[in-house]
């Protein structure tokens, strides 16, 4: 077994899941999103399941979504209760986004009968449903059922490729699948005319700021022919992860917002019509992507505008004195061999 896999496993050794009610969802709420180029209300549901199959085995270095999972089987009855509860607050949004902190298409999280029952009910109400899944669950069998339920309505699967570089995915992320497996899943989706959204991780563990910018840009370029949407997701420091373990020891810093802007600008130029979005969890805080604190708000707003407008002009007026520190970091970080993590940090 890969040593990084072992480390991911080791850090979860003493993890005890919070006790929670299996008949209640993690959360659900309504938010703004884009549907067919128009701003609409979208309804978000996070189901509580046993958790991501990969996280249960070892998990990714940056992913802390397993903290929300139950780690033991959730009964069909409870899952339906969760769904019923969420629908109590549902007010007719035409776009529904489903998360499970794992793969919606994994039969071990949600049995096919339940999954299809939920999808059937939603398909009657909404124009678009989006879910998430690892590529191994994106199969002909499952997609044909989905297609049958949704017909011409929009169904999108979000898939976390993180990077097109197999070495990075294996030795920095511990993702547990290859670029080829992703491509195979993407082609299967095309066959059924379903929409693929690909997540690209900005600044995986172990990469310098500059390496991560290059990695994200080249990944976007390599997948533009496979995906409908690219969602750049900067690493945020989630609880009980390898990222958090090293971040606490001053051996990791989340990306600069400058880097994210750089990735978005360049990727937009390279990928043309592909929709690019970027949700920055924990943006502006020390656990999320951040700049010097003074300019963070401006940057976060511009990035949010870009996700909606798809126009790099929103970045034109961004400036701050911290730019020089960021440029220095790009220029000399690899010469520090791990020491230079953050410019505001201690020097000796």
Contact positions vs other proteins (CB under 8 A): 3-4, 6-7, 10, 165, 167-168, 171-172, 206-208, 211, 214-215, 218, 242, 245-246, 249-252, 324-325, 327-328, 331-332, 334-341, 343-344, 346-348
| Nearest CB to other proteins, comparing residues 19 and 335 | 335
Rounded Cα distance between 122 and 269, Å, is: 36
3-state SS track over 185-204: HHHHHHHCCCEEEEEEEECC
How far lies 285's CA from each of 227, 253, 261, 271, 289, in Å?
A: 30, 11, 17, 30, 7
Mark out the alpha helices in the chain (DSSP H runs): 3-12, 53-57, 76-88, 112-125, 140-150, 166-168, 179-191, 209-223, 242-248, 257-271, 296-309, 323-332
| Nearest CB to other proteins, comparing residues 89 and 339 | 339
Q: C-beta of 22: minimal distance to other proteins in Å?
A: 34
Q: C-beta of 294: minimal distance to other proteins in Å?
A: 14
| Nearest CB to other proteins, comparing residues 100 and 174 | 174
Q: C-beta of 211: minimal distance to other proteins in Å?
A: 5
Q: C-beta of 344: minimal distance to other proteins in Å?
A: 7
Q: C-beta of 337: minimal distance to other proteins in Å?
A: 5
| Nearest CB to other proteins, comparing residues 47 and 326 | 326
Which positions ≥6 away from 83 have C-beta within 8 Å? 25, 45, 47, 118, 121
Helix (H) or strand (E) holding 277: strand 275-278
Q: C-beta of 161: minimal distance to other proteins in Å?
A: 14
| Nearest CB to other proteins, comparing residues 23 and 334 | 334
Rounded Cα distance between 240 and 12, Å, is: 7
Rounded Cα distance between 235 and 246, Å, is: 13
Q: Which of 174, 277, 278, 263 is nearest to 215 (CA)?
A: 263
Q: C-beta of 319: minimal distance to other proteins in Å?
A: 16
Q: C-beta of 210: minimal distance to other proteins in Å?
A: 8
| Nearest CB to other proteins, comparing residues 129 and 164 | 164
Tell me what percent of the chain is helix, strand and coil, each rounded to the nearest 5.
45, 15, 40
| Nearest CB to other proteins, comparing residues 112 and 345 | 345
Q: Which of 161, 340, 174, 300 is nearest to 243 (CA)?
A: 174
| Nearest CB to other proteins, comparing residues 144 and 180 | 180
Question: Alpha-carbon Rg of the chain, whole angstroms?
Answer: 20
């Amino acid at each position: 077994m890969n040593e990084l896999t072992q480390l991911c496993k080791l850090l979860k050794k003493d993890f005890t899941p919070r006790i929670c009610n299996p008949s209640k969802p993690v959360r659900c709420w309504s938010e703004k999103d884009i549907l067919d180029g128009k701003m609409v209300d979208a309804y978000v549901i996070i189901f509580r399941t046993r958790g991501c199959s990969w996280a249960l085995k070892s998990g990714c270095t940056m992913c802390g979504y397993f903290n929300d999972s139950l780690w033991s089987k959730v009964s069909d009855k409870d899952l339906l209760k969760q769904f019923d509860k969420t629908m109590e607050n549902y007010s007719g949004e035409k776009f529904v986004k489903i998360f499970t902190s794992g793969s919606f298409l994994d039969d071990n999280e949600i049995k096919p009968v339940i999954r299809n029952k939920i999808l059937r009910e939603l398909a009657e109400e909404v124009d678009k449903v989006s879910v998430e899944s690892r590529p191994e669950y994106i199969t002909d069998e499952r997609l044909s059922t989905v297609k049958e339920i949704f017909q011409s309505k929009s169904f999108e699967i979000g898939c976390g490729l993180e990077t097109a570089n197999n070495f990075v995915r294996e030795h920095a992320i511990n993702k547990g699948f290859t670029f080829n497996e992703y491509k195979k899943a993407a082609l299967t989706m095309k066959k059924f005319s379903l929409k693929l959204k690909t997540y690209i991780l900005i600044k995986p563990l172990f990469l310098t700021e500059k390496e991560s910018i290059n990695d994200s840009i080249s990944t976007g370029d390599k997948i533009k022919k496979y995906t409908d949407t690219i969602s750049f997701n900067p690493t945020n420091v989630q609880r009980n992860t390898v990222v958090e373990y090293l971040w606490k020891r001053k051996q990791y810093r989340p990306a600069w917002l400058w880097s994210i802007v750089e990735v978005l600008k360049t990727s937009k130029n390279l990928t043309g019509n592909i929709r690019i979005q970027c949700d920055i969890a924990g943006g502006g805080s020390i656990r999320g992507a951040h700049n010097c604190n003074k300019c963070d708000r401006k940057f976060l707003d511009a990035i949010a505008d870009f996700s909606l407008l798809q126009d790099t002009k929103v970045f034109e007026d961004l400036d701050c004195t911290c730019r020089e520190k960021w440029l220095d970091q790009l220029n000399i970080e690899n010469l520090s061999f791990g020491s230079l993590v953050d410019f505001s940090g201690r020097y000796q």
